[in-house]
Structure formats: C-alpha cells, structure tokens
Amino acid sequence: MQQSSPRRDLSLLPKAHLHLHFTGSLDVPTLRELAEFGGVPLPESLIDADPLSVPQTTRGWHRFQRSYDTARLVVTSEHAMRRVVQAAVANDAHDGSRRLEIQIDPTSYAPHVGGLVESLEIVLDEARAASEAYGVSVGVVVAASRLRNPMEAETLARLAVRHAGDGPGQVVAFGLSNDEHAGVTEEWAHAFSIARRGGLASVPHGGELCGPDHVRRVVGSLVPTRLGHGVRATEDPVLLEQLVDAGIAFEVCPTSNVHLGVYETAADVPLRTLVEAGATVALGADDPLLFFSRLTDQYVLARDAHGFTDHELADLARSSITASLASPTDKVTWLAEVDTWLATPPQEGRQ
C-alpha cells in the first residue's frame, strides 16, 4: 500500500485570528470551570459532543443566540472575564496565532463588574497580560449589537476611542454584530464615524445571513476596513470586484457558515472564489464554543475541502497577518515566520 506524503503541521503555521467573539471563544473545560465557580447549571446542549447546527432562518438564529446567551451566564465577574481572555489566548497560541483581535460588546458584561468602563478595562488589562504570557499580540474589537439602540453604539464608540492603538491590550477597531436582519444599518453610521475619527478601523458583520444588497448597505454606511464574513458578496461578481478594488478584507469563518445554515458543507463555502477574485481573506473561528472548531481547523478545511496547497495556505496566513491591525513592524516579523514555515520540510506524523 502506498503511503501518503507527510503534511506540514498547520498548527505551526504563523497566522492572525481576526474573527473571534468573547464568550464564544470559550472551550468546554473552561466553560465548566466558570459554571462551577459561579454556581451556574449548564444545559446538556452546551457540554455534549455535538456542535450547534441551525437553519438559516430567523428562528435558527434565535436558537443560536439563546445558546450564546446561556453560555454568557457564566461570565458574570471580573474573574470570569479574565479567564475568558486567558483561555482564548492560550488556545490561539496552540494554533500558531501571532495576533488575536478578539471582539466584545462590553454592554453585556457591564452590570456585573461596575459599568461599561470597568468591563472594557478588565478585558484590555488581561489582554496585555495574556499577550506577554503566551506570546500572542492581543488587540480588542469593541462591537455594538444590532439588537440594541444605535445611540448606545455611539457611547461604545466614544469609549473605544479612549483606548485606541495597535498594540497588545488596546482597542483596534469598532464592529457591529448579531442578527444581520435586525435594525436599519444606516442608523449605526454615526457611531462608526465617531470610531473612525478616533483612529479605529471599521469591522462590521455583513454578508453572511444576508446577501449582496445588505453588503452594499453595510459598505455604503459603515465604510468597513474588513467585513465580518462577507461571503455572500460572491453572489454578485460586480460587487465582489468593487470590494476587492476597495481593499476591503474578508473575515471568513467556514465552520460557522455551515453550522449557521448558510452553506450545506464546507466545500460549498466560496473560499476559492474570494481568493481567485484577489480578495484579502482572513480565516476565523467565530464561536468555537458552539461549533467545536478552532482556528487551525479552518486551515484544515481549506486544505481538505478546497484542495489548498501548502503555498496557498501560507498565502492565507499572510493575508490574515496583512489584514490585521497590528503594527507594521510586527507584521514584517510574522510574515517572515510564514516563509520559514513554508521552507521547513514536513515531518512524518504531522498534520
């Protein structure tokens, strides 16, 4: 029987992780730990061996959101918030991440720790500590929710600007998350304008649950540097070309796309379409707690479901680093490390 050639270890491929939600970043052991610490009972659906899968409907999204909200019940103290950051960075370090830009809506945690300011400062402080401890540069994305009043987003934007920067433990961008069907996109334009004037990049979600018309509204109103997901833009080649020409990067989360019912299989995610159109693509895990799939797993899918070669996988890693909001000096260092990974022969038994 012919033996297959050894493959390079994708967990050693230097990369950046640009699409990861705060509570959704948890792993089950840490979730259990925090539940025990807080005396919170967990439903079997959060700790069993089955990842969440829902249909691409409003009802499906609400089921996803209920699961996320249930997990968030264990994050009701400063200790728990710090543990979320620690676990996220430790897992990213294991996956070869050099840069993590973790997304949080401080509003959800503020009542438990004294307010919005305290909520964000806890995360920023722990991001600095975890960056040093694990060797992963951790920036923070402050994100408003489509389910809240847009005026609250303006308050969040002003708070985020106070901590703007590109280094570990600083706010690097302003986002907009939750159900893409909710709210009127244009109503968040002022909040994003505040953030941009304060030096923050715009990284709203768009083009996952909703199609090209929604992407146009997000781009026209919120002026993104990166699109959270954006995969549905591939349904309109003219729009896709415009986004590529504008230099807007795509945070693509293949596992999430499948488990939220956007595509039936990983092979259906239009990853090659984006790459062949010249898009800057950064693979992300979105919510590993619910989908049981972390950062390296997205690169494995690119290889196994889409046939990406080692050189193409290295290009994806380079794209993620380029699309990050880290300092130019750090980017140069990490890009050189990608070249080193590609130049190192694969070893037997490595995947």
Catalytic residues: 208
Burial 187-222 (b: 16+ CB within 10 A, else e): ebbebbbbbbebebbbbbbbbbbbebebbbebbebb
Q: Establish how many alpha carbons lie within 13 A of residue 43's alpha carbon, considering only the half-sphere containing its beta carbon.
A: 13
Alpha helical stretches, state H, 39-115? 44-47, 58-72, 78-94, 110-113
Torsion angle, CA of 223/173/75/28, rounded to 10 degrees? 90
Structure tokens at 223: 């002026």
Return the closest-CA partner of residue 334 out of 137, 128, 85. Answer: 137
Q: Tell me the DSSP string of 19-55.
A: EEETGGG--HHHHHHHHHHHT----HHHHSS------
Q: Is 83 within 8 Å of 123 (Cβ atoms)?
A: no
Q: Nearest 5 degrees, angle CA 337-CA 335-CA 293?
A: 80
Q: Under 8 Å CB-to-CB from 259, ≥6 apart: which residues?
A: 51, 52, 53, 54, 290, 291
